[in-house]
Structure 1
Amino acid sequence: MLFAYQIEGDKLARMAPEADLAAATWIDLYRPMPPQSAAVAALGIEVPSLDEMEEIEISARLYRNAGTEVMTVVVPGLSTSKAPMAGPVTFILAPERLVTVRHHAPRPFETFPARADRSGPGCSSPDRIFLGLIEEIIGRLADLMEGTGRALDDIARTVFGGQTGKNGAVLKEALVSIGREGELLGRVRLCLLTLERALSYFSQIAEGRPGTKALNPFIKGATRDIQALGVHADFLSARVSLATDATLGMISLAQNDTVRILSVIAALFLPPTLIASAYGMNFVNMPELAQPWGYPAALALMAGSAVVTWVILKWRRWI
Structure 2
Amino acid sequence: MITAYLFKDKTFEIQPLTPADSLPEHTLWLDIHKPDEQEQQWMSRLFEEEAPELDELDDIEASARFYRDKDGLHIHSLFPQRLGKHIDGINVLFTLRNELLISFREDDLGLMRLLRHYMRQERLEVEDAADLLLEIFQLKVEYISDLIEDGYKTLEGTAKEVLQVDDLHKTMSDLMMQEDGNGHIRLALYDTRRALRFLRRSLRQSASDEQRKWIDEMLYDIESLLPHTQFLFDKINFQLEAAMGFTSLEQSKVIKIFSVAAVVFLPPTLIASIYGMNFEILPELGFDYGYPMSLVLMLMSACGTYFFFKRKGWL
Q: How does 1:59-208 map to 2 (within 5 A)?
A: 59-77=63-81, 84-116=87-119, 117-119=122-124, 122-160=125-163, 163-164=164-165, 170-208=167-205
1:84 offset after TM fit, Å? 4.7
State the distance in 1 between where 2:23 and 2:227 align.
Answer: 41
Deviation at 1:123, TM superposition (A): 3.3
Whether 1:314 and 2:310 are equivalent positions in the alignment is yes
Cα-to-partner distance string for 1:246-302 (whole Å, 9 max, x where unaligned): 111111111111111111111111111111111111432223333332221111111
Structure 1 stretches of at least 4 aligned residues deviating more than 6 Å after TM superposition: none
Q: Distance in 1 between matches of 2:224 and 2:11?
A: 30
User: Which residue identity is paired with 2:3?
Assistant: F
Partner of 1:263: 259
Rate the CA distance shift 1:151–1:138 in 2: closer, same or farther, 3 A.
same
Asked if 2 retains the 8 angstrom alpha-carbon contact of 1:207 and 1:213, the reply is no
SS in 2 for 1:208: coil
Aligned to 2:58: 54
Aligned residue runs from structure 1 range 203-222, under 5 A: 203-209=200-206, 212-222=208-218
Greater shift in the superposed pair: 305-314 or 291-300: 291-300
Number of equivalent positions: 308
C-alpha distance in 1 between matches for 2:256 and 2:41: 71
- Cα deviation for residue 67 of structure 1 reads 4.4
On the 8 A contact 1:12/1:123 being kept in 2, the answer is: no
- Find the partner of 2:228 among 223, 232, 238: 232
Residue type of the partner of 1:254? E
Following TM superposition, by how much is the alpha carbon of 1:214 offset from its aligned partner in structure 2, in angstroms? 2.4
Q: State the alpha-carbon separation in 2 of the partners of residues 41 and 266 from structure 1.
A: 77
Q: What SS does the corresponding residue of 1:56 show, helix, strand or coil?
A: coil
- Is the partner of 1:22 in helix, strand or coil? coil
Aligned to 1:2: 2
Q: Is the 8 A contact 1:77 1:105 kept in 2?
A: no
The residue aligned with 1:26 is 29
Task: Report the aligned-residue RMSD.
Answer: 2.2
**Conservation of the 8 A alpha-carbon contact between 1:73 and 1:89:** yes
One-letter code aligned to 1:42 = R
Give the 3 Å change call, closer, same or farther, for CA 99–78 of structure 1 in structure 2: farther
Asked if structure 2 preserves the Cα contact closer than 8 Å seen for 1:67 and 1:94, the reply is: yes
Asked if structure 1 preserves the Cα contact closer than 8 Å seen for 2:86 and 2:181, the reply is no
Name the amino acid aligned to 1:143.
Answer: D
- Give the TM-score of the pair, scaled to structure 2: 0.90
Q: TM-score, normalising length from structure 1?
A: 0.89
CA distance in structure 2 between the aligned counterparts of 1:205 and 1:124, rounded to whole angstroms: 18
Q: Residue type matched to 1:54 in 2? A: D
**Larger deviation, residues 308-317 vs 141-150:** 141-150
CA distance in 2 between counterparts of 1:225 and 1:172 reads 36
Q: For residue 133 of structure 2, what is the amino acid of its counterpart?
A: F
Of the structure 1 ranges 301-310 and 57-66, higher mean CA displacement relative to structure 2 is found in: 57-66
Counterpart code for 1:123: V
| Structure-2 separation of matches of 1:281 and 1:234 | 68
